[in-house]
Amino acid sequence: MTLTEKLLARAAGKASVQAGDNIWVKADVLMTHDVCGPGTIGVFKREFGAQAKVWDRERVVIIPDHYIFTADSKSNRNVDILREFAREQGLPYFYDVIDDPKGTWKFDTTKGVLKRQYGSQYAGVCHAALPQKGHTRPGEVLFGTDSHTCMAGAFNEFATGIGNTDAGFVMGTGKLLIKVPETMRFRLEGRMQPGVMAKDIILHVIGEIGFDGATYRAMQFDGPGVASLSMDDRMTIANMAIEAGGKNAIFPFDARTAEFVEGRTRLNGTRQSYDPVEPDRDQKFVYETVVNLDQLEPTVACHPDPGQRKPAKELGHVKLDRAYLGSCTGGKTSDFVEFARVLRGRHVSIDTFGVPATPEIVHDLQSTRWGDRTIWDILVDAGVQMTENAGCAACLGGPVDTFGRMNTPLKCISATNRNFPGRMGHKESQVFLASPATVAASAIAGKIVDPREFPAN
């Protein structure tokens, strides 16, 4: 069996499964957020009753993150619905925006968009927050009401996005009927060269197979090249499986996975036991390819979909209006570090926005010094508009007052993961997906360039 088949067989209590089988699997964690949480709660109450209790309150994780820092009253109200539900159910893992469990959330526009407006429990973008808060463990099944839930496949688990109806069912029963996906294998060999990042790997892969090339399939990334990838790198790659239509992504378990997971579960007091899945000798793949990491170049996915792959060096004719660094894919500490390496001592020539994915990342950037400046200071010095209000922000457009949202038909180079028309706001805007290094270099040049033109200072 492949890693995904082995994991699903175990979650179904079966000795073996094969692609195409319909099986009931037990969920280890159900995650929801402010966009889909209220709908999920509505389904749960409708189907299980107004007084019903969730199947396991330790396994429901609620992370408001999408439409948070906006004056839109309906968006603010969504967070209040989550708070009321968490209180009623006694949920220990609700990462509220405010500290008062009986309060209401309102974004105060008079304080501006750059200064922190959240309390001590707020966790930021769900997919980055889940591992940081100790909710990702090898061998587990994670369902989330968000398509990029597949990011947790970096930790050797089965993680996939589901709709509100399925999530309402999981909330009540702790299980779900799913079809076992076929597995595509991407064997990684070699090492990335300077200027190339994990984002380039996944943009290359999606360019190879197309934005529907993995529809309802598992994407298994393995091979000797995995050892050189950090957990952040693996998360970036797994995050974008859905941009090829993938059901899930999965990486093998190794010492790096163990170190991360054990550190985070210990730090947060979450469940520490886990049981990874190891590869079998007789895995059957529907597709196999080798990705030579040392041959990859800085890559861009052009408008209008993530499969429109081009080398960055061939896109010098694309003039830009804006650059954006942020999201679950591109707003991690390591992403900002690479962004700052290119921008240090230089200045952007176009509007450039930086939105860390979580408050912990804000803290990392504001406390790590390079010489006498913090990484945060270096980015501000370079002209980047940095906000402390960690969240999804303009990655998915959001309400019209969202920080960094494209309200006019602009061209933007972005470290986010999706670029279908209208994704970041205006439906005639164009989004070019790239690595943080390519975003930084392009922000300096005002056009798309290969980051190797701007070696780190």
Note the residues at the interface with ligand SF4 (CB under 6 A): 66, 125-127, 146, 148, 327-328, 392, 395-396, 416-417
CA 155/CA 228 separation, integer angstroms: 15
Residue closer to ligand SF4 (CB basis): 241 or 277:
241
Residue closer to ligand SF4 (CB basis): 188 or 198:
198
Which residues sit opposite 24 in a β-bridge?
177
Whether the CB-CB separation of 95 and 129 falls below 8 Å is answered with yes
Angle at 116 between CA 113 and CA 119, to 5 degrees: 135
Cis, bond preceding 138 (omega within 30 deg of 0): no
For the bound state, the minimum distance from the C-beta of residue 245 to ligand SF4, rounded and expressed in Å, comes to 15
CB atoms within 10 A of CB 423: 23
Residue closer to ligand SF4 (CB basis): 183 or 236:
236
For the bound state, the minimum distance from the C-beta of residue 156 to ligand SF4, rounded and expressed in Å, comes to 21
**Structural Rg of the chain based on CA atoms:** 21
Residue closer to ligand SF4 (CB basis): 395 or 433:
395
3-state SS, residue 443 = helix
CA 31/CA 366 separation, integer angstroms: 29
In this structure, what token pair is assigned to residue 452?
Answer: 């190797």
φ/ψ of 22, rounded to 5, equals -100, 120
Angle at 101 between CA 95 and CA 107, to 5 degrees: 70
Q: 35: closest CA among 73, 63, 69?
A: 63
For the bound state, the minimum distance from the C-beta of residue 239 to ligand SF4, rounded and expressed in Å, comes to 7
CA dihedral 306, 310, 314, 320 (to 10 degrees): 0
For the bound state, the minimum distance from the C-beta of residue 419 to ligand SF4, rounded and expressed in Å, comes to 11
Residue closer to ligand SF4 (CB basis): 168 or 331:
331
Q: 337: closest CA among 226, 451, 436, 194?
A: 436
Residue closer to ligand SF4 (CB basis): 148 or 322:
148
CA 172/CA 433 separation, integer angstroms: 38
For the bound state, the minimum distance from the C-beta of residue 305 to ligand SF4, rounded and expressed in Å, comes to 15
Residue closer to ligand SF4 (CB basis): 312 or 392:
392
Angle at 410 between CA 406 and CA 411, to 5 degrees: 115
Residue closer to ligand SF4 (CB basis): 89 or 389:
389
For the bound state, the minimum distance from the C-beta of residue 456 to ligand SF4, rounded and expressed in Å, comes to 26
For the bound state, the minimum distance from the C-beta of residue 275 to ligand SF4, rounded and expressed in Å, comes to 28
In this structure, what token pair is assigned to residue 160?
Answer: 């996939």
For the bound state, the minimum distance from the C-beta of residue 214 to ligand SF4, rounded and expressed in Å, comes to 17
Residue closer to ligand SF4 (CB basis): 89 or 136:
136
Residue closer to ligand SF4 (CB basis): 127 or 137:
127
CA 226/CA 448 separation, integer angstroms: 29
For the bound state, the minimum distance from the C-beta of residue 22 to ligand SF4, rounded and expressed in Å, comes to 28
Q: Residues near 198 by Cβ (< 8 Å), separated by ≥ 6?
A: 192, 229, 232, 233, 234, 236, 237, 435
For the bound state, the minimum distance from the C-beta of residue 351 to ligand SF4, rounded and expressed in Å, comes to 19
